[in-house]
Structure 1
Amino acid sequence: MSRKKDSRQKPRGKRPQQILVFGESENDTKSLKELILALRGDLADKVQPRRDPLVLIKNAKPEDVPERAKKIADAVDISRATHDIVCVFAHEDCDALEPKHEEACRKIEEAMQQAGCPAHAVVPAWELEAWWFMWPDAVQAIRPKSWRAPDDYLGKEVGRLKDAKEELKKRVVPKDLKPDKRKTFQTYQESDSPAIAQKVREKGLARKPAAKSSSYTRFVASVDECKVK
């Protein structure tokens, strides 16, 4: 299904290139932007995270999927008026263990294809927080004086971690922290994700994960597929 050309579009070749990132939240899209740039420095100034519309496709009823995909496609069309859209990424957490992310990816990508807007699905299993266990040093680096490096899963399959967000909250707490300090301890919050991703980029760790994740491997392959001039 092809989408109609917007009459406002500038001639192709004269427009700047752009990569759009949609997701479940602003924290997620900002984090994914940092990871994309960590993987592909040549995409600097091209990656744009978008707050709206949210990607809510994986658990949608069949009758609701086309309209949700269309909202994203319409937003992409607006950008196509002034930019050459190189790639579109659509993120939703899996909320299930690997390899369930593959099923969710297929649903999202098929829906976007039907909407006339091919996209790369980004579906971390269990949640985006599972990926942070691949870079414990980057996690600790955002609060080096208080957090421990969550290095509990080095070399293991982090896509098999249930409730990864809650697990990360526990694992950054120093093991020797006194009980009376635990109530006031500032542990991980979702708003920390972009800073962690930035540390991954700054430290050059994006292609050097210390643990395993099939959903992350899929994401890396999707980023590598983006072709820019």
Structure 2
Amino acid sequence: MARISQTIEARAAVADIVGVIVHQDADGPDDSCAEILRSALTKNVTPPAYPVVPVQETEAWWYLFPDCLRGVKPIAWREVKMPTNINVESIFNPKEDLQRRTRVAAPKHAYSEADSLAVAQRMADAISKGIIPENRAPSWDRFLDLAKQL
């Protein structure tokens, strides 16, 4: 919480801040993590801070835009088999599942957390172009609703 507050203070010196979105993995199928984070933010952070918690792990969200994931390593991951038309939050251990899928497609180029920033950047670019997710996730919908409100 101290680091979040320091970051907000530094940014507030150069820009108006109407709210802060704070991301944290749930690391499981229960999103009660959002309520715990919301409580801590309410007590410790101003301006308003809002939790965004992908159920399970952030990697569940990578399944929303499979082409963005494949684009990080377009040759190695070209043939990665991805689920379609599902609630990605139903995938048990999405990080491990993604590592397995990419390892099957390209044994020397399995997904790692270091790939996350590139996937997220590709997703942001896709969203800005109006590309719609191929799958669904309630936590993603909550995130988008929150972002629209701010």
TM-score normalised by L of structure 2: 0.84
Residue in 2 aligned with 1:199? 122
> Can you give the 5+ residue segments of structure 2 that lack an aligned partner in the other structure?
none
2:38 pairs with one of 102, 105, 109: 109
Give the corresponding residue for 1:213: 137
Letter in 2 for 1:155: N
Matched residue count: 148
Distance 1:116 1:128, change over 3 A: closer
Report the 3-state secondary structure (helix = DSSP H, G, I; strand = E; otherwise coil) of the residue aligned with 2:124: helix
| Secondary structure of residue in 1 paired with 2:68 | helix
CA distance in 2, matches of 1:132, 1:75: 26
**1:107 Cα shift?**
1.8
Q: CA deviation at 1:83?
A: 2.6
The aligned amino acid for 1:136 is P
Distance between the aligned counterparts of 2:67 and 2:7, measured in 1?
37
**Residue 189 to residue 213, structure 1, CA distance change in 2 (3 Å):** same
Does the 8 Å contact 1:150/1:172 carry over to 2? yes
Against the structure 1 CA distance between its residues 217 and 75, is the aligned structure 2 distance closer, same or farther, given a 3 Å change threshold?
same
Q: Offset of 1:151 from its aligned partner?
A: 4.5
Q: Secondary structure at the match of 1:203?
A: helix
For 1:144 and 1:110, locate their aligned partners in 2 and report how far apart those are by CA, in whole Å. Answer: 41
Residue 77 (structure 1) aligned with residue 25 (structure 2): no
CA–CA distance in 1 between the matches of 2:98 and 2:130? 19
| TM-score normalized with structure 1 length | 0.58
Separation of aligned partners in 2, 1:170 and 1:197 = 20
**Which of 146, 155, 163 pairs up with 2:85?**
155
Q: For the residues of structure 2 that align with 1:210 and 1:192, how far apart are their CA atoms?
A: 20
Which structure has the greater CA radius of gyration?
A: 1
Deviation at 1:125, TM superposition (A): 1.6
- Write the distance in 2 (CA, Å) between the matches of 1:84 and 1:165: 36
How far off its partner does 1:207 sit? 5.8
Percent identity between the two aligned chains: 28
2:20 alignment counterpart = 88
Give the SS at the match of 2:19: strand
Partner in structure 1 of residue 146 of structure 2: 222
Kept in 2: contact 1:131–1:158 (CA 8 A): yes
Equivalent positions of 1:53-202 (< 5 A) are 69-97=1-29, 100-101=30-31, 103-117=32-46, 118-148=48-78, 150-174=80-104, 182=107, 185-202=108-125
Q: Is the 8 A contact 2:4 2:45 kept in 1?
A: no
Shift of 1:75: 3.9
- Report the CA distance between 1:153 and its aligned residue: 2.0
CA contact (8 A) 1:150 1:168 kept: no
Q: Is the 8 A contact 2:103 2:111 kept in 1?
A: no
Task: Judge conservation of contact 1:73–1:112 (CA < 8 Å) in 2.
Answer: no
- Name the CA distance, whole Å, in 1 between partners of 2:79 and 2:51: 29
AA of the residue aligned to 1:213 = A
**Residues 125, 116 of structure 1: CA spacing in aligned structure 2 closer, same or farther, 3 A cutoff?**
closer
